[in-house]
Each structure stands twice: as structure tokens, then as C-alpha cells.
Structure 1
Amino acid sequence: MRRVNVAIAGLGRVGSQFLEALLGVSADSVKIIAVAEPKENLESVKIAKERGIAYYRDARDMLRSLEDAIDVLFELTGDAVLRTELHEILSQSGNRKTVIVPEPVAFLIWSLIVQGKCEYPR
């Protein structure tokens, strides 16, 4: 079975709920390998660390450090400048494997994961 290595940038309202939902998915098919969030005191950061997920304060550092170990990077910061910089890092490093998923696509995936059991965080 193929496993998808996931990283999440931004563990605010949306990112923390996304982390929780993805932690409920079979580890055989989806593995969260890293998260990035500048506010280290958030409960979602604590949960990620407790689960052995690599933590970074900066998504750019996370992407540079893990290079193409990330299959899917959920960019949930709401920061358009950061999103552009992440794409530039991929381009400069020649990484054609990692896919950066913007929030509208994350919303679609959220809908599939929770199957209407809870509302998308806003």
C-alpha cells in the first residue's frame, strides 16, 4: 500500500482541525511527518509533538529541511506571501514531487475526510 507523507503549515483554527482529522486516518495510508507553526504554545503543536511529528516554527525551514520527503503540504496559514515563497523553494530546489495544497482544495479534502460529521473551521 502506498503511503502519503503529509506536512501542515499553519495550525490555527483550520490547521488544528485538519491535524486532528488526519490523525484519525490510517497511518498505513497517510502519515503526518511535520507541522509548521510560529506559535509554539498552541495545543495543536503540543499534540503534534506528543505524536512524534516533527515541529518547525517556519514552513520555509520545514520545506527546505525535508525537501522531497513531503508528498503533500497543506498550506493553511492564509498568508499569500508565504505560499509564494514555498512555491519558490520548490522551484529553486528542483522539487517536482511535493504538492502544495491551498485552502480551497483543503476544504474539499476536509469534506471527504469528515463526511459531514463536522463543519469546516472558519
Structure 2
Amino acid sequence: MRRINVAIAGLGRVGSQFLDALLSVSTDAVKVIAVAEPREELESVKKAKERGIAYYRDARDMLRSLEDAIDVLFDLTGDAIVKTELYEILSQTANKKTIIVPEPVAFLIWSLLNSKA
């Protein structure tokens, strides 16, 4: 069985709910391997660390560090500059594996996860 490695950039209001939804799904097929959030004091960051999920203060550093170990990167930062720079990093590193998912698609997935709960 193939496993999808997920990373989440931005653990604010939307990102923290998204993290909770992904962590509530009991499956070996999807694993949250890393999160990025500049505000380390957030409960969602503490929760991620407690679960052994790698933590980064900056999404760009996370992507550079993990490179193509990330299958899906949910960009929930709401920051246009970060979004642009994440795509630039993919281009510079020739990473053709990682897919960056924007907020509207993440919201769709989160809605589907919550409708089954």
C-alpha cells in the first residue's frame, strides 16, 4: 500500500482544524510528516510536536529540508509571497513529486473529512 506524506504550512484557525481532521482519520495511507508555523506557542503546534510530527517555523525551510519526501503540501498560510516562493523552491530543486494544495482545495477536503465524522 502506498503512503501519502502530508505537510501543512500554516496552523492558524483553518490549518489547526485541518490538522485535527487529518489526525482523526485512522489510516496508514496518509501521514502528516511535518508542519510549519511561525507561532510556536499555538496549541496546534504543541499537538503536532506531541505526535512526533516535524516542526518548522517557516514553510520554505520545511520544503527545502524535506524536498520530495512530501507528497502533498497544504498551503494554509494565506500569504501570497510564501505561496509564490514555495513554487519557486519546487522549480529550483527540480522537485516534480510534491504537489502544493491551495486553501480552497484544502477546505473541500476538510469538509469531506468532517462530513464523515
Task: Please indicate, yes or no, whether the TM-score normalized by the shorter chain is above 0.5.
Answer: yes
User: What does the per-residue CA deviation read over 1:42-99, in whole Å, with 9 as the maximum and x for residues that have no partner?
Assistant: 0000000000000000000000000000000000010011000000000000000000
Gaps in structure 2 of 5+ consecutive residues: none
The Cα shift of 1:108 comes to 1.1
TM-score by length of 2: 0.97
Length, aligned pairs only = 117
Q: Does 1:79 align with 2:69?
A: no
CA distance in 2, matches of 1:68, 1:27: 21
Q: Structure 1 residue 66 and structure 2 residue 66: aligned?
A: yes
Kindly indicate whether residue 39 of structure 2 is the aligned counterpart of residue 15 of structure 1. Answer: no
Find the aligned partners of 2:83 and 2:40 in 1 and give their Cα distance: 20
Runs of 4+ in 1 over 6 A off after TM superposition: none
* Unaligned runs of at least 5 residues, structure 1: 118-122
Distance in 2 (alpha carbons) for counterparts of 1:116 and 1:32: 19
Aligned counterpart, 1:120: none
Match in the other structure for 1:111 = 111
Q: Percent identity?
A: 80
Look up the match of 1:6. Answer: 6
Q: Normalising by structure 1, what TM-score? A: 0.93
More helix by share: 2
